[in-house]
Amino acid sequence: MANAQYQRDLLNESGAEMLAICTVQLEKAKDAFLNHDSDLAEEVILNEIRVNALDLRIEKSCEKFLALYNPVAIDLRFIMAIRKINFDLERIADHAYSISKYVVEVDEKIPPHLLEALKFQKMYDTIVKMLVNITQAYENKDVKAARKVFKKDKVLDQINIDSFSVLEAEIKKDNNIISEALLLFSVIKKMERVGDLIKNIAEEIIFYIDAEVVKHKKKK
């Protein structure tokens, strides 16, 4: 068992590393986008290789752990959860990569009044807080911290829903901003998706720790 425990600990550390890297990728993508910093965006793009390598390493370790140690109970839930968490984190990093690509490919800076009207900063801040919550939940096996993201995800959903009418109104005011508006609309969709992925991660952490399946559960 000592070896199985050791392998599990290593996998747990790799999961924490993936979470940390993806958090940094997203934060850098945010800064690059808000400040139109193409150097920072390039850094995110280059770091994607690291994310992919770690994703593969975790996948392989999970496969090895399943094949060699036949996990059951909490070990089985851990391995099931870590595979899904890894998958979701890799998707989050993909979104950070795509946003950074916009920064590099689009020359013009997004007009600040548009960002403000769309509550862009609030959206990013909410995502950062959600990432802090799941990091705490993952590292300390803290189910309460994991549950905090559900409410925050609703904030993102609302911003996403509102974005259509906000952009419509802005375009009516000035139809020269159509390309920027479309870009923003696409980024907002990505950020909303990031929120969903973080919510999925929180659900997996709850499943792993409490054996409770919360996904697809509607509040009565």
By beta-carbon proximity to other proteins, the closer residue of 75 and 142 is 75
The least CB distance from residue 62 to other proteins, in Å, is: 17
The least CB distance from residue 75 to other proteins, in Å, is: 5
4 makes contact with other proteins (CB under 8 A): yes
66 makes contact with other proteins (CB under 8 A): no
72 makes contact with other proteins (CB under 8 A): yes
Under a CB-based contact definition with an 8 Å cutoff, are residues 127 and 191 in contact? yes
Residue 111 has a CB neighbour count (10 Å cut-off) of 16
Pick the stretch among 75-83, 108-116, 165-173, 188-196 that binds other proteins (CB under 8 A). 75-83
The least CB distance from residue 71 to other proteins, in Å, is: 7
- Residue whose C-alpha is closest to residue 101's, from 170, 165, 32, 167: 32
The only residue of 105, 158, 211, 215 in contact with other proteins, by rule CB under 8 A: 211
Distance CA 189, CA 203 (A): 21
- The residue whose two tokens read 């770091």 is 47
76 makes contact with other proteins (CB under 8 A): yes
- Residue 61, C-beta contacts closer than 8 angstroms, at least 6 positions apart: 7, 10, 11, 14
The least CB distance from residue 209 to other proteins, in Å, is: 11
The least CB distance from residue 20 to other proteins, in Å, is: 27
The only residue of 17, 71, 87, 129 in contact with other proteins, by rule CB under 8 A: 71
77 makes contact with other proteins (CB under 8 A): yes
Distance CA 113, CA 135 (A): 32
- The residue whose two tokens read 């990505």 is 190
- Please name the residue ranges forming H helices in the chain: 2-35, 38-69, 73-105, 112-117, 120-140, 143-173, 178-210
Token duo for residue 82: 């870590």
The least CB distance from residue 213 to other proteins, in Å, is: 10
User: Which residues here bind other proteins, judged by CB under 8 A?
Assistant: 1, 4-5, 70-77, 211
